[in-house]
Amino acid sequence: MVLKVVINAGIYDEKMKQKAFKVVTELEGIESIDANKGTGKLTVIGELDAIAIVEKLNSYNSWPCKNWPHAVLDSVGPKEKKKEEKKKEKKDEKKDEKKDEKKEEKEKIKNYYEAISRDYQNWQPNIRTQNYYAQSIEEDPTACVIS
């Protein structure tokens, strides 16, 4: 499952950002990494373990800054879909709803006409016909048979 992990890592300059990227990219299953210098948060998207990322950031000793803040897990959740995909899904849902409404109307009309036609159908009971066969009578029953 693709997760979006937000970590409060205290990234406030470019050098810290590069080091954090270097440390996090060593892990497997990462699709994208983004760092916001304004808030100091690191956003990682991919099939990964959130705790492993935090441990990796906290275990790294050679940071460019001696007062590197302790990395804290901020939030973990499913990856959000893009706005375009959401818009397409909404359009598809509207189209599907219209198609469903048309199908329902057609089904109602079909059921109505079936009910009416049932009332006016002729009732014809099953009549058994007599099964008989015609016997051929020959003039000479002891006639020769040529084989």
Q: Which DSSP string corresponds to the chain?
A: --EEEEEE----SHHHHHHHHHHHTTSSSEEEEEEETTTTEEEEEES--HHHHHHHHHH----SSTTPPPPEEEEEEEPPPPHHHHHHHHHHHHHHHHHHHHHHHHHHHHHHHHHHHHHHSPP-PPPPPPP--PPP--S-TT-----
pLDDT digits (tens, 9 = 90+) for 3-61: 899 998 888 888 888 888 888 888 888 899 999 888 888 999 999 888 888 888 887 75
CATH of the domain at 22: 3.30.70.100
Tell me whether residue 51 is in a domain: yes
Tell me whether residue 139 is in a domain: no
Tell me whether residue 101 is in a domain: no
Tell me whether residue 137 is in a domain: no
pLDDT attached to residue 121: 66
Domain that holds residue 13: 3-77
Tell me whether residue 143 is in a domain: no
pLDDT attached to residue 74: 85
Q: Count structural domains, the chain.
A: 1
Tell me whether residue 62 is in a domain: yes
Q: Please determine, for residue 107, whether its predicted confidence score (pLDDT) is greater than 90.
A: yes
pLDDT digits (tens, 9 = 90+) for 61-104: 555 555 566 788 888 888 876 666 777 777 788 888 888 889 99
Tell me whether residue 44 is in a domain: yes
Tell me whether residue 36 is in a domain: yes
Higher pLDDT, 128 or 125: 128
Q: Please determine, for residue 106, whether its predicted confidence score (pLDDT) is greater than 70.
A: yes
